[in-house]
Amino acid sequence: MKIKGQLNRPRLYVFKSNKHIYANIIDDYNSKILTSYSTLSREIQNNKKQFANCETAKIVGKQIGNKLKQLGIKQIVFDRGSRIYHGQIKALADATRGEGINF
């Protein structure tokens, strides 16, 4: 089943590799990436020498929540891909919800 965002609710797509975790906000109607954040971002690379773990997933979730607030988006559709809602995916989602984003 393919998850699509709605016109007023873009999609937060989370991709996790063995070393990094990526969060992209996608506007499915215009086929554009509105914003993104990952463990490859400079802020995380300068502060942490670790790869993807629950702590860095929380930082990515918090930063993507801040970017969404700056864009004026308060509701999103969460797309975790084929990953189960556990560990790093859950930490990222909880940190994003902590910033006031509903999904």
The whole model's pTM is what? Answer: 0.88
Class of domain 11-98: alpha beta
The bridge status of strand 11-16 relative to strand 77-79 is: parallel
- pLDDT of amino acid 49: 66
Strand partners, 32: 27
pLDDT digits (tens, 9 = 90+) for 8-43: 899 999 999 988 999 999 999 889 999 999 998 887
Average pLDDT over residues 36-62: 84
pLDDT digits (tens, 9 = 90+) for 72-84: 999 999 999 888 9
Strands (E), the chain: 11-16, 21-27, 32-38, 77-79
Cα dihedral 25→48→66→87 (10° resolution) = 60
Q: Is the pLDDT of residue 47 over 90?
A: no
Q: Is the pLDDT of residue 99 over 90?
A: yes
Model confidence at 2, in pLDDT bands (50, 70, 90)? confident
Identify the residue whose tokens are 């006031």. 100
